Structure 1
Amino acid sequence: VLALAVPGDTAFPQCSGVLVATGERLRAKAITLSSRKWGVPGDAQLLRLSFGRFGDRVAADTPDDELLSWALGDLATVFGLTIDAVDARIQRWIDAMPQYGPGHAELVAEVRAGLPPTLAVAGSYLDGIGVPACVGAAGRAAERVIGAIGGFDAQVAR
């Protein structure tokens, strides 16, 4: 994952990002306009570009400066903008994304059904890797435990 800070007045379109289909000529597999999704105070916009796909070595083997060059090139191709990055950070998460197989949802349901009421599980390995999926699963897990221990009339923030 390559995180970029760009000048706040950079004219991105009104969207939260782009997912790139396999086989396209872009190097990134996803571009997220993080500032659009989460809001960022200050004079910069934040972006996140993801590189590499399951089974390849792009994320592990590509030098940082080359990833940055690819990112700026893909941003120019997708948005028609020449970007001057204010800052860049690269975080390599090699083999970190779960690969769900057939029957995964049923297996997760079986695991959850076998837990005592005061124990719950949540995480990207269960319900999806996106932030909304993780937050939603955590909220449901917290509600389960709170409901099981009783005495609380609380809503879990999502």
Structure 2
Amino acid sequence: LTGLPNRRSYGERIEEALHRARRGGLPIALMYLDVDHFKQVNDTLGHAAGDAVLHEFAQRVKAAVRITDTVCRLAGDEFTVIVEGLKSAEEAALVAAKILQAFERPMLLEQGEWKVSTSIGLAYSGSADIGAESLGAAADAALYNAKKEGRGRYALRQVD
């Protein structure tokens, strides 16, 4: 549907990214994203429109991130971005902000224009001495905070 790596591929890719970060002593960031109010799209416009939103969502995220970043779809409307080669948490936040900008214009669906936003949980570790589960838990907690603060935004959680 989206052409992105799935949950299983994500597991392999995050472990590879963490290995590279550890080997080079480099920071790493992980984003969890989802489509705000996605159930409303399916309920209002139907599942075909929901699929179109997921496809366009994936394309916009891929276009917004750097070529070196890895975008995966975990399930449903849940996506991740593995961000390597950063110098700071601020640089990771710039990537998240660029993703948010990609959703400023509405999506063009068969039923007309539909405004879609995303919430992003951003976990950043300045030391690569962290496991995939811990980094994922931090991104998930940050995503919860972004939604609690009103959606259509990112929340950052630093893990060191």
TM norm structure 1: 0.31
Structure with more of its chain in helix, by fraction: 2
Structure with more of its chain in strand, by fraction: 2
Q: Which has the higher contact order (CA 8 A, sep 6+)?
A: 2
Greater Cα radius of gyration, structure 1 or 2: 1
TM norm structure 2: 0.31
